[in-house]
């Protein structure tokens, strides 16, 4: 077990290194030097050359990569060109808000999708199952921003229940308390995630229901409630662990668009603004952060699954 | 029974034909096609896709709305005579905009999926066929690319190089080949050791013939199913790009961009600038997913011989 975990962590570290290399190279090819963006379009060649030399952009890219990697290992993510702040300071101001939005949405989605999938599997091919399946199918095909817009139209503009702009407070405690303004962003991201989860949950629950141990549990006279709680729920939840680990890219993309749509000042909105300003180090750092989170998510999911499922025994 | 199965795993036992079912011998593909045609949702999906292809490409030949010259006298008109779906904030005819935007969505969806499938199939097939160290290294490359948030890179590239149907297709396709690569590799790995491949090899088939006659046709099912999902994902990706303001430039139109223009007027109640185009995106993506699901079911049934 320990050996397996160590090996998985080792692979993850190698993948993270590979990812940092690929992302750095890609961004280097796209933006060889931020000189023009810093100095302005009318900077002359001499100033650009001086800028490149001063900031090391004239060195071979492999040297630049090693330098960046070294800085990363020392906790230095570079600094934002447009906002004149270090990237880590910018991230520090915002990460809690993004984590709050994502965490609440993911938790809600899991709490709703698991019972929903089990309900659909038990009552399959009934009206309730059809409604839930069609709903998930439509939301699954819907762009995140369109989903958010419909929610704004119905619950903010028509019914006046919630605000159409997310909370602008800088303290995450205040944001958490401001359900009036946070309801719609959270609902958007939650619905998106439920749509992605529930069809898997339904098919997993159906597979588990067909297993022999469920038949045995029923045959020995266990009340249906206990069959569902003890045998179905626990086994049907196992694939959810992997699914949650795999959902991080979806959450990151959803976060980017939701934060932009609701003007919620988190990491996604920072990335969007940096795109428009071509803020090189912010783009680099956030893409890298997203990749690292994805790798960590998969790693934790793999390890959690081996802990949770005793049937998985690894050599 | 358990004693007879020998080296078969439980999975193989369930897949083995049950005996006693004698029917006319039909080719697997024809069976799959019949299965597909019997699926009402699949037919609906195909119908929606055909409708949108006609709507986007033939529609502008029949319906000549203004989508090129802004006209200040006709801005934000509600649906009515002359403008079945109203006009935009620049006086363009919404119906025409949606038709032209549909061309871009379908073209990008198709090209990006084609690029992803071609790269993915080749990469996966080579990886699976060679095996060993090469396979392991190639799959680590896939792992690395899978960890990179695709949308972020697509956005960065789109901002830098500008957006055209070709560039967007290349970018989106260039970051979508990973899943097909894994699928095809898995198929090839499992097909390689099947008895019919060994039989063909023993019968003296060349390596190329093995690939052409046995591996490709059998791995094709997975690829075809995945293609439809690739189209759906690419259409969603270009819609997201357009909505964030990094989509196609005038005179080209994309659906995400149209929607984001409409958002500015949400509080004025100009619903015709938002909902028709939004519903178009949902319908096309849903149709692709319906077709993909149905294809998967019909090809699966072929495997199970049910």
Tell if the CB–CB gap between B149 and A294 is shorter than 8 Å.
Answer: yes
Q: How confident is the model at residue A315 (pLDDT cuts 50, 70, 90)?
A: very low
Cα A232 to Cα A113, A126, A209: the distances in Å are: 15, 20, 7
Which residues 6+ apart lie within 8 Å of B144 measured at CB? A15, A18, A19, A22
Per DSSP, helices labelled H in A141-279 are: 144-151, 172-177, 179-209, 212-219, 224-226, 234-246, 248-261, 267-277
Task: Indicate yes or no: CB of B148 within 8 angstroms of CB of A23.
Answer: yes
**Range B99-120 average pLDDT:** 89
User: Is omega for the bond preceding B251 within 30 degrees of 0, making it cis?
Assistant: yes
Mean pLDDT within A41-48: 80
Q: Is A221 exposed, middle or buried (0-12, 13-18, 19+ CB in 10 A)?
A: exposed
Q: How far apart are the first and last CA of chain B?
A: 21
Q: Note whether A289 contacts B: Cβ–Cβ < 8 A.
A: no
Mean pLDDT for chain A overall: 83
Chain A nearest-CA distance from B208, in A, is 34
Residue B165 has pLDDT above 50, yes or no: yes
Q: How confident is the model at residue B115 (pLDDT cuts 50, 70, 90)?
A: very high
Bridge partners for A86 per DSSP: A79
pLDDT band of B300, cuts 50, 70, 90? low
Confidence (pLDDT) at B4: 41
Fill in the DSSP letter of residue A165.
Answer: S
Are residues B147 and A257, on separate chains, in Cβ contact within 8 Å?
no
Give, in degrees to the nearest 5, the angle at Cα B76 between B71 and B78: 120
The percent of residues above 90 in pLDDT, for chain B, comes to: 4
Neighbours of A262 (CB within 10 A): 26
Counting residues of chain A whose pLDDT is more than 70, the rounded percentage is 99
More confident residue, B16 or A2: A2
Q: What is the pLDDT of residue B8?
A: 41
CB contact under 8 A, B285 and A142: yes
Nearest CA in chain A to B232: A141
Which A positions 132-171 lie with beta carbon below 8 A of chain B?
137-138, 140-146, 149-150, 152-153, 157
Residue A300 has pLDDT above 80, yes or no: yes
Q: Distance between CA B304 and CA A167 in Å, rounded?
A: 53
- Give pLDDT, residue A190: 92
CA distance B247 to B165: 9
Closest C-alpha among B84, B105, B129, B89 to residue B276: B84
For the ranges A129-138, B50-59, B214-223, which has the lowest average pLDDT?
B214-223
B156 interfaces chain A, CB cutoff of 8 Å: yes
Among the residue ranges B51-55, B206-210, B231-235, the one predicted with the least confidence is: B206-210
**At residue B12, does pLDDT exceed 80?**
no
Q: Which residues contact A123 (CB under 8 A, 6 or more apart)?
A: A129
Mean pLDDT taken over chain B: 78
pLDDT, tens digit (0-9, with 9 covering 90-100), for A84-106:
788 788 888 888 888 888 889 99
pLDDT band with cut points at 50, 70 and 90 for residue B257? confident
Residue B271 pLDDT exceeds 80: no
**What mean pLDDT do residues B2-30 have?**
49
How near does any CA of chain A get to the CA of B83, in Å? Answer: 23
**Distances B27 to A32, B34, B38, B301 between C-alpha atoms, Å:** 55, 11, 17, 13
State how far residue A142 is from chain B, nearest Cα, in angstroms.
5
Between B303 and A96, the higher pLDDT residue: A96
Q: How far apart are CA B172 and CA B181, in angstroms?
A: 15
Q: What would the 3-class secondary structure string for chain B be?
A: CCCCCCCCCHHHHHHCCCCCCCCCCCCHHHHHHHHHHHCHHHHHHHHHHHHHHHHHHHHHHHCCCCCCCCCHHHCCCCCECCECCCECCCCCEHHHHHHHHHHHHHHHHHHHHHHHHHHHHHHHHHHHHHCHHHHHHHHHHHHHHHHCCHHHHHHHHHHHHCCCHHHHHHHHHHCCCHHHHHHHHHHHHHHHCCHHHHHHHHCCCCHHHHHHHHHHHHHHHHHHHHHHHHHHHHHHHHHHHHHCCCCCCCCCCCHHHHHHHHHCCHHHCCHHHCHHHHHHHHHHHHHHHHHHHHHHHHHHHHHHCC
Over residues A205-221, mean pLDDT: 84
Contact B156 A27 (CB under 8 A): yes
**d(CA A249, nearest CA chain B) in Å:** 6
For the stretch A261-285, pLDDT in tens is 888 888 888 888 888 877 888 888 8
pLDDT tens track for A218-234: 888 888 888 888 888 88
What percentage of chain A reaches a pLDDT higher than 90?
Answer: 1
How much is the pLDDT for B302? 47
Tokens 């960890």, residue located: B147
Q: Which of A190-199, B63-72, B167-176, B277-286 has the lowest mean pLDDT?
A: B63-72
Residues of A (7-46) whose Cβ lies below 8 Å from B: 14-16, 18-19, 22-23, 26-27, 30-31
Determine the average pLDDT of the residues in B88-114. Answer: 84
- Own/partner long-range contacts of B210-216 (Cβ < 8 Å, ≥24 apart): B211/B125, B211/B129, B215/B125, B215/B129, B215/B188, B215/B191, B216/B125
Q: What residues have CB less than 8 Å from A112, skipping those under 6 apart?
A: A190, A194
pLDDT band at B14 (very low <50, low <70, confident <90, very high): very low
Q: Which residue has the higher pLDDT, A112 or B220?
A: A112
Interface test with A, best of B2, B141, B147, B162 (most A CBs within 10 A): B147
**pTM for this model (two decimals):** 0.83
Query: For residue B147, what is the nearest residue in chain A, using CA coordinates?
Result: A291
pLDDT surpassing 80 at residue B292:
yes
For residue B25, give how far its alpha carbon lies from the nearest alpha carbon of chain A (Å).
31
> Does the beta carbon of A270 lie under 8 angstroms from any beta carbon of chain B?
no
Q: Tell me A309's DSSP state.
A: -
Cβ atoms of residues A46 and A311 within 8 Å: no
Task: Name the nearest CA neighbour of A227 among A248, A205, A245.
Answer: A205
| Interface residue B263 vs chain A (CB under 8 A) | yes
Is B153's pLDDT higher than 70? yes
Residue B144 contacts A, CB cutoff 8 Å: yes
> Are A291 and B148 an interchain contact pair (Cβ–Cβ within 8 Å)?
yes
CA atoms lying within 13 Å on the CB side of residue A142: 25
pLDDT at residue B7 tops 50: no
B45 and B294 in contact (C-beta within 8 Å)?
A: yes
Nearest Cα to Cα of residue B113 among B23, B58, B65, B177:
B177
- Among chain A residues, the shortest Cα distance to B231 is held by A141
SS3 A79: strand
The answer to whether B160 contacts A252, with C-beta atoms less than 8 Å apart, is: no
Residue B27: which pLDDT band, with cuts at 50, 70 and 90?
Answer: low
């Amino acid at each position: 077990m320990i050996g397996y975990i160590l090996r998985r962590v080792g692979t993850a570290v190698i993948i993270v290194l590979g990812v940092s290399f690929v992302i750095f190279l890609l961004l280097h090819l796209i933006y060889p030097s931020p000189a023009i963006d810093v100095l302005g379009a009318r900077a002359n060649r001499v100033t650009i050359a001086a800028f490149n030399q001063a900031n090391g952009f004239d060195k071979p890219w492999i040297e630049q990569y090693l330098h960046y990697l070294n800085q990363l290992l020392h906790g230095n993510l570079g600094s934002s060109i447009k906002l004149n702040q270090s990237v880590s300071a910018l991230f520090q101001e915002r990460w809690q808000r993004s984590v709050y939005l994502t965490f609440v949405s993911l938790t809600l989605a899991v709490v709703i999708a698991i019972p929903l999938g089990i309900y659909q599997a038990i009552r399959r091919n009934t009206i309730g199952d059809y409604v839930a399946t069609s709903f998930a199918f439509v939301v699954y095909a819907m762009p995140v921003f369109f989903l958010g817009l419909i929610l704004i139209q119905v619950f903010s503009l028509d019914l006046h229940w919630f605000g159409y702009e997310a909370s602008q407070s800088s303290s995450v405690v205040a944001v958490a308390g401001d359900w009036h303004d946070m309801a719609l962003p959270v609902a958007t991201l939650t619905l998106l995630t439920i749509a992605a989860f529930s069809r898997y949950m339904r098919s997993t629950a159906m597979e588990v229901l067909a297993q022999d141990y469920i038949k045995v549990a029923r045959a020995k006279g266990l009340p249906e409630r206990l069959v569902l709680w003890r045998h179905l729920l626990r086994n049907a939840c196992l694939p959810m662990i992997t699914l949650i680990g795999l959902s991080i890219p979806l959450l990151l993309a959803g976060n980017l668009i939701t934060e932009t749509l609701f003007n919620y000042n988190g990491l996604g909105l920072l990335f969007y603004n940096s795109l428009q300003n071509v803020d090189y180090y912010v783009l680099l750092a956030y893409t890298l952060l997203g990749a690292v989170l994805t790798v960590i998510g998969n790693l934790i999911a793999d390890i959690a699954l081996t802990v949770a499922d005793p049937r998985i025994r690894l050599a | 029974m358990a004693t007879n199965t020998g080296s078969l795993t439980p999975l193989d036992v369930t897949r083995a034909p049950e005996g006693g079912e004698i029917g006319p011998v039909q080719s697997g593909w024809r069976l799959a096609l019949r299965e597909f045609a019997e699926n009402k949702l699949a037919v609906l999906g195909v119908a929606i896709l055909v409708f949108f292809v006609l709507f986007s490409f033939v529609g502008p030949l029949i319906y000549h709305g203004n989508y090129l010259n802004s006209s200040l006298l006709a801005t934000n008109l509600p649906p009515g005579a002359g403008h079945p779906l109203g006009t935009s904030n620049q006086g363009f005819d919404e119906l025409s905009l949606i038709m032209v935007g549909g061309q871009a969505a379908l073209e990008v969806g198709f090209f990006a999926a084609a690029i992803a499938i071609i790269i993915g199939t080749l990469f996966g097939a080579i990886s699976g066929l060679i095996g060993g160290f090469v396979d392991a290294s190639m799959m680590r490359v896939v792992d690395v690319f899978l960890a990179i948030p695709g949308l972020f890179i697509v956005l960065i590239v789109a901002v830098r190089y500008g957006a055209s149907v070709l560039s967007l297709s290349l970018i989106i396709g260039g970051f979508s080949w990973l899943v097909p690569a894994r699928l095809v590799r898995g198929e090839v790995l499992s097909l390689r050791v099947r008895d019919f491949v060994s039989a063909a090899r023993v019968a003296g088939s060349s390596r190329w013939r093995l690939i052409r006659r046995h591996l490709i046709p059998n791995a094709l099912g997975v690829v075809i199913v995945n293609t439809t999902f690739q189209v759906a994902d690419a259409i969603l990706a270009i819609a997201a790009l357009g909505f964030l303001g990094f989509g196609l430039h005038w005179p080209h139109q994309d659906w995400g961009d149209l929607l984001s223009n409409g958002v500015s007027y949400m509080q004025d109640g100009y619903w015709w600038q938002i909902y028709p185009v939004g519903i178009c995106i949902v319908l096309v993506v849903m149709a692709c997913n319906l077709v993909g699901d149905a294809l998967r079911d019909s090809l699966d049934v072929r495997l199970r011989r049910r």
